[in-house]
Amino acid sequence: MSSASKGKKHRLIKSFGFAFTGIRTAILSERNMKIHLCITIIVIFASIGLSISMIEWLFVILAIGGMLSLEMLNSAIERVVDLVTEEYHPLAKQGKDIAAGAVLIYAMMSVMIGLIIFLPKLFHLFF
């Protein structure tokens, strides 16, 4: 393996390390991330318990992965805005509000996916 290949491989490994550090930081420091993770655990156990189909798993995984990713992006935007300005600025507020709105839209979509998948199964289980 050439020296250039080793350097590229080392940089790739370091970039994964940075990504895992970012995930860890979000989990440890962001309240909403902790809430999303708790809901994720509940949804995974419900999915296993209710024996959802492979296609339903795909939707659940996309909803969970998208929600966690979007929450992390929202947190990153908030931190960058806070870094750039400590003073109130309408554009800074708009940036934060828009990012929070994106999270809310995805959360509502995830809830709808959950209702579509789980309500019929719960109805069948109890009635």
State the Cα–Cα distance between residues 55 and 120, nearest whole angstrom: 15
Catalytic residue ranges: 71
State the Cα–Cα distance between residues 98 and 92, nearest whole angstrom: 10
